[in-house]
Amino acid sequence: MSPLALSASDAILAATDTTAPVASAGRLVPAALVGIALIVVLITWLKVHPFLGLTIGSLTVAAIAGENMTEAITSFSTGFGTTAAGVGTLIALGAMFGKLLADSGGADEIVDTIVGRASTRTLPWAMAAVGALIGLPMFFEIGLVLLMPVIFLVARRSGLSLVRVGIPALAGLSVMHGLVPPHPGPLVAIDALKADLGLTLGLGVLVALPTVALAGPAFARLAGRWVDVPAPALFEGQTGRAIRPSFGTTLATVLLPVVLMLGKAVADILVPDDQAPVRQVLDVLGTPLIALLIAVVVAMFTFGRGAGMGRAELSKSLESSLPAIAGILLIVSAGGGFKQTLIDTGIGQVVAGWVSGSGLSVLFLAWLVAVLIRLATGSATVATVTASGILAPLVTHLSTGETSLLVLAIGAGSLFFSHVNDAGFWLVKEFFGLSVGQTIRSWSLMETVISVSGLVFVLLLSIVV
């Protein structure tokens, strides 16, 4: 059955999780609401780091629910450790890969090659492609910092509005960050909902491409009329490395982990015998840890040695990639602990039962939960990990494809309307030299277009998946 027709009540009736809630619904629902509200207040008002907010919120939920605190600590620790082991290594490898791409000049090579061949009319589409390609292996903030000099220079030399050039690139970055593994948000949702990574990656790309087109070049034409600001004179005359890896080599290296993970998904579908040698090899190579590890090792040669890096410079590049992601690792892992607390107290089951009479599509429900948490906390990652924990009881009898679409619905919801409680909002505002109102009319609305478009394309895919 397609999840477009599958209601929340259908999924709940199909669920077979027999873990008994630790208390009645009258106690568990307020516990969940107080815990989430506390996390929101700590992060947005008191400016507490999300790692501490999620940790305190998890223990608060357990205490109000009446769970034994020793068991509550065990639940949180188990979820934290499992998430760190399953997702943390992937985030670290992704950061290493992205740093090599930036330091070697490979990212500059991609930008120069694609943008250099574009006319003024096709330039926004080229910038969207650059944003998506750079965003594939990189975190949003890293990609944004990397692309800003390019956006400024392209806007000045083309005579186009900074918003007309910048919005498509930002759309490419944001969509990849929210919908396509190996970014932290999708990885956490995949882990929490036990979705197939290769299939989710493939479906994520299918959703991402039209979403980038709508929220990038198409929306930029409107946003450019509402917000018209000149490109600042920053970065003028800045040059990259004297030696760079070629465009073909860079592109092949960037796509290598994606191809390996998709190869595993294709093998799982086309080679039914899990003992077949080809299936076994592709299963190993397509495992996210192995795929990214291979990509980093290959990048050490194609990016590092290809750019003339010595051993000391290569080592420094890899080492410097890790401190920047320490906070991300802690937030993601604490989100896993919070998810496990919701599961072990039985709150997830109670919330699922509470919405069973709504008749809402599971996909729409997942999107809506992520939207509400995103608006409250400003964090796409917090929205993803929290929504995944709440929706976990709904996926017991969903098919593999349906579960992957559920991950994408949550990812789309987590990008809805970035505003003043989101660090990305302020990054874009300051880099582009916009007022708060201009940032809302360009960046915030772009994020909303991404979120709504993503949901629509997920629902359309659910008809055939």
Domain membership of residue 70 (yes or no) is yes
What distance in Å separates the CA atoms of residue 106 and residue 245, rounded to the nearest whole number?
6
Check residue 98 and give its pLDDT.
80
The pLDDT confidence band at residue 7, using thresholds 50, 70 and 90, is: very low
- 65 closest CA partner among 351, 449, 384, 371: 351
Q: Which range among 113-122, 161-170, 239-248 has the greatest average pLDDT?
A: 161-170
Helix 69-83 and helix 326-345: axis angle, to 10°? 130
Distances (CA, A) of 75 to 15, 32, 59, 214: 22, 15, 10, 42
Q: Is residue 234 scored above 70 in pLDDT? A: no
Q: Cα 265 from chain centroid? A: 20
Q: Residue 2 domain-assigned?
A: no
The neighbouring-strand residues paired with 361 are 7
Provide the pLDDT for residue 390: 79
Q: Does residue 1 fall inside a structural domain?
A: no
Model confidence pLDDT, tens digit, residues 319-337: 988 887 788 788 878 877 8
Q: Does residue 206 register a pLDDT over 70?
A: yes
Q: How would residue 8 be classed by pLDDT, with cut points 50, 70 and 90?
A: very low
Q: Which residue has the higher pLDDT, 34 or 98?
A: 34
Q: Is residue 300 a part of any domain in this protein?
A: yes
Euclidean distance between CA atoms 222 and 241, whole angstroms: 36
Q: Mean pLDDT in the chain?
A: 83
Residue 92 domain-assigned (yes or no): yes
pLDDT score recorded for residue 94: 80
- Tell me the per-residue pLDDT of 28-54, one tens digit each, with 9 for 90 and over: 878 888 988 898 788 778 888 888 988
Question: Stretch 171-189: mean pLDDT, rounded?
Answer: 86
Ramachandran area for residue 378 (φ above 0: left; ψ -120 to 50: alpha; else beta): left
Mean pLDDT over 63-90 rounds to 88
pLDDT over 60 at 5, yes or no: no
Dihedral pair phi/psi, residue 68, rounded to 5°: -55, 130
Cα 274 to chain centroid, rounded: 30
| Alpha carbon separation from 93 to 13, 99, 188, 219, 304 (Å, rounded) | 40, 10, 15, 34, 15
Q: Which range marks the domain in which residue 181 is found? A: 8-462
- Tell me the average pLDDT across 85-99: 82
17: pLDDT strictly greater than 60: no
Q: Is the bond preceding 181 in cis, omega lying within 30 degrees of 0?
A: no
What is the band of 167 on the pLDDT scale with cuts at 50, 70, 90? Answer: very high
- C-alpha 169/C-alpha 143 separation (Å) is 10
Cα dihedral value 139, 140, 142, 143, nearest 10: 110
Average of per-residue pLDDT across 358-378:
83
Side-chain-facing half-sphere of 29: CA atoms under 13 Å: 9
3-state class percentages of the chain: helix first, strand second, coil last, to nearest 5: 75, 0, 20
pTM: 0.72
With pLDDT > 70 as the criterion, what percentage of the chain qualifies? 88
Confidence of residue 430 (pLDDT cuts 50, 70, 90): confident
Q: What is the pLDDT of residue 356?
A: 52
User: How large is the average pLDDT for residues 116-140?
Assistant: 84
The predicted pLDDT at position 165 comes to: 92
Sequence letter at residue 214: L
pLDDT score at 324: 75
Number of domains in the chain: 1
Q: 22 versus 53: which is more confidently predicted?
A: 53
Element (H, E) at 329: helix 326-345
First and final C-alpha spacing in the chain: 9
Neighbouring residues of 370: CB distance < 8 A, sequence distance ≥ 6: 383, 384, 387, 409, 410, 411, 412, 413, 414, 416
